[in-house]
Amino acid sequence: MKSLDQRREQKLIRSAAAGDREAAGQLVSLHQASVYAYILRLSGRADVSEDVVQEAFVRVLTNLDRFDPQYRFSTWLFTIARRIFLNICEKRRPVFDSDRVSETGGVSCGVNSAWDDVEDQGHTRDAVQKALMHLSLDQREVVILFHQHDWPIWLIAEHLEMPEGTVKSHLHRGRTKLRDLLAATAASANLFRKEVVA
Amino acid sequence: MTNPSFSLPPSDDALETLVNEVIDAECEGNDALALSLMRRGVAEFPGFGARLAATRAAVKSLRSPVFVPDQRAAVLSEADFVRPFLSPRIRQQISASRVALAAGIVLTASLLTTLQYMYPAATTPGATQPAAVSSVVQASRADAAASVRSLASVVQDLREGMQAPVESVLRVGPNSSRLAGTPLSLGYGGSYDADLSVSALRNDSPRREATAWAPRRSREALPVDVPTVAYRGSDRFPLIGDKPLRLLGETGAPSASVRTVDLWDQLHVDADGVVTFEPSPVKKNSGPIKPAENK
């Protein structure tokens, strides 16, 4: 049996599909925080996240008649947002040509270049984001969806189109790596603090 | 950060697995399992507590709030550009139109059902002019016969298109000749069954040889009556299409004896590809068949 929120969401979706601007606005308000946080954690870039979220919502709102109500709206939205993000990664993949290096200042799905972007451009400088950018894309996605959005393993597996065992493997490795990186950051910070005090 | 050095004890696969299992159990809300795993971890691994606490802290940090800009206005304006939203009034009109359409369909269906119930003869298509089953069957048969005739005419046209007149005669002769119903004997003047065959080169491509012969059951002695239609292709195609091979010979008396002649020289092919056999006049009662000549 569907919860009250789900029924309300279904009603909003039907209204928005019928052309109701107010309902569409409510749908955006309901889901923009989660999908923005998801893409921000994935990309490490606020500007990319804004672009992806906007594009994802526009696609969703203009294709609401294709939405299958038996699935969760958020899953559909996240899937579309993820595809848009991966498309951006594909388009902005670094080209190993000395003449074109200066042109590729965008987001990359790779660890180092994304990390450099974060450091150089000053977006989301928190330690968690820095640590996340050192995980592989699969590990990052699984850790974010499991711990930030509380998605169950089966749903993550469906979303990422990989077996549940692989999802668990990515989750455990990513979590361990994230912990180690954050611990290293904390240790460095403590050492720095001690040196300043001394 | 690329080469971290921290205060946690060295990694141990078993320890890490246990820590992950505890975190998974906690996230799934399975506190009993998490507690038992923690007890086991504390008992088995000295650094279990510190590693579990560090992992929990790392995971918890992911839940830190993120500043989210409100993109509703931008999203709605762009979506409106791609697929315009509708005003409440238009949406109400669309809804009303749909309801009216559905109601109209239901009313029409109900009316038709009622009419059918009240006046079944008037509302059933074709019910006013009943036709006997036999006449329907006859009509079907007539149609079938017409179809067969039509098909046969097409096939005939195709076959006519495959005619191949005879170019030249290759060989001729009675392969065998025997007395009808009785053994062949010298001096017998009765009727003979003859097996006269003519082999000819067809004029089609690829060129092939075909053979025609007189019907075995003609019950006529050679020379055969004029004209005797006698052709049958040895292959699938007629020797000269629908123009039969004509074997022409003199009319023999019932008691006439068969005399072998040089048939080869007496065969002619006309412009239409018709093979004509015109033996030279044979003297009547010119003599019995010699056994050696009849092999």
Distance from CA of A185 to the nearest CA of B (A): 7
Portion of chain B with pLDDT greater than 90, in percent: 7
Assigned domain for A68 exists: yes
CB contact under 8 A, A36 and B62: no
Q: A80 and A28: one domain? A: yes
C-alpha closest to that of B278 among B293, B289, B290, B263: B263
C-alpha closest to that of A42 among A119, A110, A120, A121: A110
The Cα-based distances of B241 to A72, A168, B77, B238, B254 in angstroms read: 78, 83, 83, 5, 33
**B139 has a chain A CB within 8 A of its CB:** no
Quote the number of domains for chain A. Answer: 2
Degrees (nearest 5) of the Cα angle B258, B263, B266? Answer: 120
The shortest CB-CB distance from A184 to any of B4, B17, B59 is to: B4
The Cα-based distances of B181 to B191, B196, B217 in angstroms read: 9, 18, 11
- CA distance linking residue B150 with residue B145, whole number of Å: 8
The CATH number linked to A179 is: 1.10.10.10
Distance from CA of A146 to the nearest CA of B (A): 9
The CATH number linked to A41 is: 1.10.1740.10
The Cα-based distances of A181 to A69, A130, B220 in angstroms read: 41, 9, 116
Cβ A9 vs Cβ A73: under 8 Å: yes
- Would you call A98 exposed, middle or buried from its count of C-beta atoms within 10 A (0-12, 13-18, 19+)? exposed
CB contact under 8 A, B91 and A171: no
Nearest chain B Cα to A59, which residue? B79
Q: A20 and A92: one domain? A: yes
Q: A70 and A139: one domain? A: no
Assigned domain for A159 exists: yes
Portion of chain A with pLDDT greater than 70, in percent: 76
CB contact under 8 A, A54 and B78: yes
Cβ B239 vs Cβ B273: under 8 Å: no
Contact residues on chain A for B24, CB-CB shorter than 8 A? 168, 171
pLDDT digits (tens, 9 = 90+) for B274-288: 555 555 554 444 444
Domain that holds residue A20: 1-100
**B61 has a chain A CB within 8 A of its CB:** yes
Q: A17 and A84: one domain? A: yes
Q: Which two tokens stand for residue B7?
A: 């205060």
- How does pLDDT run along chain A (198 residues), one tens digit per residue? 456 587 888 888 988 888 888 889 999 999 999 999 999 999 988 999 999 999 999 999 988 888 888 888 899 999 999 999 999 988 876 555 444 433 333 454 544 444 444 444 443 357 888 899 999 999 999 999 999 898 999 999 999 999 999 999 999 999 999 999 988 887 776 666 666 565
Interface test with chain B among A115, A175, A177, by most B beta carbons within 10 Å: A175
Q: A154 and A195: one domain? A: yes
The yes/no answer to whether this complex scores an ipTM above 0.90 is: no
pLDDT digits (tens, 9 = 90+) for B140-190: 666 666 766 766 666 665 555 444 455 555 555 444 444 444 444 444 444
The pTM score is: 0.53
Distance from CA of B31 to the nearest CA of A (A): 17
B 215-274 residues with CB below 8 A of A?
Answer: none
- CA distance linking residue A69 with residue A6, whole number of Å: 10
User: What does the DSSP 8-state code read for residue A156?
Assistant: H
C-alpha closest to that of B223 among B281, B293, B268, B292: B281
- CA distance linking residue A15 with residue B131, whole number of Å: 57
Distance from CA of A95 to the nearest CA of B (A): 24
Evaluate if residue B71 carries a pLDDT over 70.
Answer: yes
Query: How high does pLDDT run on average in chain B?
Result: 63
Q: Given the structure tokens 């495959």, which residue do they identify? A: B162
How many of the other CB atoms lie within 10 Å of CB of A182? 23
Residue that terminates a domain, selected from A85, A100, A115: A100
**Which secondary-structure segment (H or E) carries B200?**
strand B192-202
